[in-house]
């Protein structure tokens, strides 16, 4: 899987880049790709979400943009201190979106284990959880069995920003970060670990 890294990326530019890779795979001139990036503070609204779940657009004097994302899921937050991983994969031979989401969760669970954080799945919803709090959100979109969008892993974001939304439809806003769990890992450490585990993405069962 090809890997692209951005220090920070405008959300619209990110969607445009993903759309271009999806079109390239369908045309036969691009390959599955993992994009690792970060966004300025924003709320993204999924296809099951509603702007009614956006409670505030300014927190601590900082304005937070709102975007329709096109991915599955409800409303979530992206911002500095969060590693966003977009996985553009070709499922035309597999056609199992549930397995794709399971693999996205699995590479995060394995990555966090490298930092002595025991993460799990939860009946509360898709994503990765620690002590019943969500540490990584997962949302995907699929076009002609080419997937895009992906994972948002909280390393050390401003968790106050989550107070501006009903995150993933959960009014109790159960979110956590690696930093809150006592980890001093920085983004480069986490990227390295996630890259190792994503190399086995298609072999995870």
Residues 23-49 have pLDDT tens digits of: 999 999 999 999 999 999 999 998 887
- Give catalytic status of residue 85 as yes or no: no
Closest among 83, 81, 77, 82 to 165, alpha carbons compared: 77
Which one of the listed residues 168, 178, 181, 194 is annotated catalytic?
168
Concatenated DSSP letters for 138-150? EEEEEETTEEEEE
Q: Which domains does the chain have, with CATH numbers?
A: 2-198 (3.30.930.10)
Report the predicted TM-score, pTM, of the whole model to 2 decimal places.
0.93
Cα-Cα-Cα-Cα dihedral sign, residues 161, 167, 171, 172: negative
> Which ranges of the chain have pLDDT less than 50?
none
pLDDT of residue 173: 66
Residues 73-100 have pLDDT tens digits of: 889 999 999 999 999 999 999 899 999 9
pLDDT of residue 27: 97
pLDDT of residue 26: 97
How many Cβ atoms from other residues are within 10 Å of residue 60's Cβ?
8
Closest among 54, 16, 55, 60 to 35, alpha carbons compared: 16
pLDDT of residue 73: 81
N- to C-terminal Cα distance for the chain? Answer: 18
Q: What's the CA gap between 131 and 38, in Å, rounded?
A: 25
């Amino acid at each position: 899987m090809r890997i692209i890294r951005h220090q920070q990326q405008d959300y619209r530019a990110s969607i445009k880049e993903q759309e271009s890779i999806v079109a390239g795979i369908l045309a036969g001139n691009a390959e599955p790709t993992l994009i690792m990036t970060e966004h300025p503070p924003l709320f993204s609204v999924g296809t099951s979400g509603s702007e009614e779940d956006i409670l505030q657009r300014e927190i601590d004097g900082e304005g937070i943009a709102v975007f329709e994302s096109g991915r599955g899921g409800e409303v979530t937050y992206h911002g500095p201190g969060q590693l966003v991983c977009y996985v553009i994969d070709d499922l035309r031979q597999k056609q199992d979106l549930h397995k794709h989401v399971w693999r996205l969760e699995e590479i995060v669970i394995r990555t966090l284990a490298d930092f002595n954080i025991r993460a799990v799945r939860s009946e509360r919803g898709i994503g990765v959880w620690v002590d019943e709090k969500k540490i990584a959100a997962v949302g995907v979109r699929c076009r002609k069995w080419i997937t895009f969008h992906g994972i948002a892993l909280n390393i050390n974001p401003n968790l106050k920003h989550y107070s501006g939304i009903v995150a993933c439809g959960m009014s109790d806003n159960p979110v956590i970060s690696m930093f809150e769990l006592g980890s001093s890992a920085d983004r480069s450490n986490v990227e390295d670990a996630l890259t190792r585990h994503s190399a086995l993405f298609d072999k995870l069962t």
